[in-house]
C-alpha cells in the first residue's frame, strides 16, 4: 500500500538533506519511493541495502535496479555490491536501518503531513485494542487506516499483514497512502521488534498505549527485562506525545513511572488506583458489557464489546481512554456507542464463536502465549456450566521457553486437554508437543490430558466428548487458511474443520 501520486524528490536534494556521500553523481535522478526489500522495488525507488542475518542487502542491488531502482543506499560494507549495480550510490557511515525511518518520513512527507496516529504495544491485547479503537472512530464518522498483526486497511481496502509492524519505509508509504485517501486517524500496532529494529522511526504517535507484559519472544530477547526495555522505548518524546497505560500487570506501573511523556493510567482491577476504571457489568457468550469510569470527576460510559472476556472489556476501555486523551469528548463517544449498541468491532481470530443449535459452545482463538491461554480459559469457564475442553499447541521456530507454561495454563484451566500440532514450521512437531505436554502434566498429573498429533483428529475427538452444556476452546490458528509444516504451507482451516466436525457429530452449525 503505497501512495498513488508520490511527489518526486531529486536524489541530490535527498543526499544533501541527510549529508550522504554520493558516488557516481546523477543530479537528474528523481526518487518517488524507498524500500529495503528488493522484491518490492518500483520504478523510481531508492533501494536500501542493510546488513542481514545471512546476507547483506546490498548484494541484491542488481535485482533492485532491474526492477526500477534509480539509486542504492548502503553502508561501507555494501559499497562494492551497490556500485556494481550501475546506479548512483549513497553511503552512510552508520547502519542504514538507523536512519531509514527518518528518510522515508521525509521522502513521503509524513513527518510534516500525516493523519494523527495511535499506537499500542504490549504482549497481548494490541490487536484487540487496535480494532476496538478503529471501530469507535468509524462509529464517530471518521475515515480510518489500520495496521495490525492481522491486516493493513485503508477505508475498505484490506491486505493481509506479513509483520505485526511493517518496516519503516513500508509504514511511511502506508501513511502517505492514507493521507491521499483522506484518512482522519491511523492506528498502528507496535511490536517490540518494531522498536528494536527501528520500524517506527520518523513517526510520533498522538497517543501510545501499553496493554500488559507476559512471557513471549525469548527467542529474540535474552531476558524478559530486555523484552520489556524494547517496549519502553515507545513512551519517549521521540515516539509519542502522550500515553495511556494499563496497570493490570506489574509492568504497567513501571511504564507509568519511567515514561518521559504525560501518562494517563487505566485498570480493570478494582483495588488499584488509576485515572480510569473498567468495571465489568455482564458476561454472555456473545458480548461483554462494561462501564468505564473517570476518577477525576466520576463521569462514566457504559457499553459492550462483541467478544467474551473481562480482558476484552479492559481493551475496550483502553481504546476509549486513548480517544479521550486525544481530545474526543467522552460524551461524544458515549452517544455513538449507545446509538449502535456497543463497539461494533470485528476481531480477526479473537474468541471467534462457532455457533451451533442446542449444542456445546465452541470458540476458536488465536492466543499463543501462557497469559492469553489463561485469560481466554477464564472467560470460557465463567460462561460454562459443564466441562471445558481445550485443544492447544505451540508454533515452531518461536519462543521455546513459553511452551511448558502454555501447557501449564491449558491444563489448569480445562477439564479435558488435547495437545495437537499447529504450525511446526521447520521444527519436529513431536518435540513441540512434548514440551507443551511436559508443562501440562507437571501442573496436573491426574488430569485428562491427551496427545493427538493431527489437528483434524483432535477437533473430532473434542467434539465427540462434548455435551450440550460443555465448551470447546481451540486456541491457535483461528484466521489462518494453512499450516506451515517442514517449510510447506499446507491448506488448512481451523474454522472449516471445526464446523465439519460439529456437523459430522450431528450438531447443526449456525
If you write DSSP's letter for every residue of 232-283 in order, what string do you get? HGGGSTTTBS-EEEE-SSHHHHHHHHH-SS-EEEEES-TTS--SEEEEEEEE
Cβ within 8 Å of residue 16, ≥6 positions away? none
pLDDT at 162 over 80: no
Least confident of 26-30, 115-119, 341-345, 415-419: 26-30
pLDDT at 160 over 80: no
Least confident of 9-13, 139-143, 218-222, 299-303: 218-222
pLDDT at 156 over 90: no
Mean pLDDT of 141-153: 89
Most confident region among 19-23, 393-397, 457-461 by mean pLDDT: 457-461
**Which residue do the cell numbers 480445562 mark?**
414
* CA dist., res. 391 & res. 474, Å (int): 5
Q: pLDDT tens-digit profile of 12-65?
A: 999 999 998 887 766 678 999 999 999 999 999 999 998 887 889 999 999 999
Q: 268 near 262, Cβ under 8 Å?
A: no
The pLDDT score that the predictor gives to residue 478 is: 67
Q: pLDDT tens-digit profile of 173-200?
A: 999 999 999 999 999 999 888 888 889 9
Cβ within 8 Å of residue 181, ≥6 positions away? 143, 145, 154, 155, 157
Least confident of 209-223, 373-387, 398-412: 209-223
Q: Which helix (H) or strand (E) holds 263?
A: strand 263-267
The pLDDT score that the predictor gives to residue 33 is: 96
* CA dist., res. 352 & res. 407, Å (int): 21
Report the percentage of the chain scoring pLDDT > 70.
97
pLDDT at 234 over 60: yes
Mean pLDDT of 447-471: 97
Query: Domains (ranges, CATH) in the chain?
Result: 9-98 (3.40.1390.10), 117-340 (3.40.1190.10), 352-509 (3.90.190.20)
More confident residue, 494 or 367: 494
More confident residue, 369 or 108: 108
Amino acid at each position: 500500500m503505497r501512495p498513488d501520486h508520490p511527489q518526486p524528490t531529486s536524489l541530490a536534494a535527498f543526499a544533501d538533506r541527510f549529508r550522504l556521500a554520493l558516488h557516481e553523481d546523477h543530479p537528474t535522478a528523481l526518487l518517488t519511493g524507498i524500500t529495503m526489500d528488493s522484491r518490492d522495488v518500483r520504478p523510481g525507488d531508492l533501494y536500501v541495502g542493510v546488513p542481514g542475518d545471512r546476507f547483506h542487502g546490498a548484494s541484491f542491488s542488481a535485482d533492485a535496479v532491474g526492477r526500477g531502482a534509480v539509486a542504492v543506499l548502503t553502508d561501507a560494507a555494501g559499497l562494492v555490491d551497490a556500485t556494481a549495480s550501475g546506479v548512483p550510490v549513497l553511503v552512510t557511515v552508520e547502519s542504514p536501518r538507523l536512519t531509514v525511518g527518518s528518510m522515508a518520513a521525509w521522502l513521503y512527507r509524513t513527518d510534516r503531513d500525516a493523519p494523527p496516529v495511535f499506537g499500542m504495544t504490549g504482549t497481548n491485547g494490541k490487536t484487540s485494542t487496535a480494532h476496538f479503537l478503529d471501530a469507535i472512530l468509524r462509529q464517530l464518522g471518521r475515515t480510518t487506516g489500520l495496521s495490525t498483526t492481522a491486516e493493513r486497511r485503508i477505508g475498505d481496502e484490506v491486505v493481509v499483514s506479513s509483520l505485526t509492524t511493517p518496516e519503516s519505509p513500508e509504514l511511511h508509504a502506508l501513511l502517505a497512502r492514507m493521507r491521499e485517501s483522506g484518512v482522519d486517524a491511523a492506528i498502528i500496532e507496535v511490536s517490540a521488534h518494531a522498536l528494536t529494529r527501528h520500524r517506527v522511526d520518523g513517526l510520533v504517535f498522538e497517543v501510545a498505549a501499553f496493554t500488559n507484559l507476559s512471557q513471549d519472544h525469548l527467542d529474540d530477547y535474552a531476558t524478559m527485562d530486555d523484552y520489556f526495555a524494547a517496549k519502553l522505548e515507545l513512551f519517549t518524546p521521540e515516539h509519542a506525545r502522550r500515553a495511556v497505560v494499563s496497570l493490570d500487570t506489574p509492568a504497567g506501573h513501571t511504564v507509568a513511572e519511567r515514561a518521559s511523556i504525560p501518562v494517563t493510567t487505566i485498570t480493570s482491577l478494582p483495588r488499584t488506583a488509576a485515572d480510569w476504571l473498567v468495571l465489568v457489568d455482564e458476561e454472555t457468550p456473545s458480548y461483554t458489557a462494561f462501564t468505564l469510569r473517570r476518577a477525576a470527576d466520576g463521569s462514566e460510559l457504559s457499553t459492550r464489546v462483541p467478544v467474551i472476556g473481562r480482558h476484552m472489556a479492559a481493551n475496550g476501555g483502553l481504546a476509549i481512554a486513548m480517544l479521550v486523551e486525544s481530545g474526543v469528548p467522552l460524551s461524544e463517544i458515549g452517544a455513538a456507542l449507545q446509538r449502535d449498541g456497543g463497539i461494533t468491532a470485528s476481531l480477526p481470530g479473537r474468541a471467534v464463536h462457532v455457533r451451533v443449535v442446542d449444542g456445546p459452545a465452541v470458540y476458536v482463538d488465536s492466543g499463543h502465549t501462557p497469559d492469553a491461554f489463561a485469560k481466554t480459559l477464564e472467560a470460557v469457564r465463567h460462561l460454562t456450566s459443564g466441562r471445558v475442553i481445550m485443544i492447544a499447541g505451540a508454533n515452531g521456530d518461536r519462543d521455546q521457553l513459553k511452551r511448558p507454561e502454555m501447557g501449564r495454563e491449558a491444563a489448569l484451566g480445562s477439564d479435558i486437554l488435547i495437545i495437537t500440532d499447529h504450525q511446526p514450521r521447520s521444527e519436529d512437531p513431536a518435540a513441540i508437543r512434548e514440551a507443551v505436554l511436559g508443562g501440562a502434566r507437571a501442573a496436573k498429573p491426574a488430569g485428562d490430558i491427551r496427545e493427538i498429533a493431527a489437528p483434524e483428529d483432535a477437533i473430532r475427538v473434542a467434539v465427540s466428548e462434548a455435551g450440550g452444556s460443555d465448551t470447546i476452546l481451540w486456541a491457535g490458528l483461528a484466521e489462518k487458511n494453512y499450516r506451515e509444516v517442514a517449510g510447506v504451507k499446507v491448506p488448512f482451516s481451523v474454522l472449516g474443520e471445526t464446523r465439519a466436525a460439529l456437523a459430522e457429530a450431528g450438531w447443526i452449525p449456525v
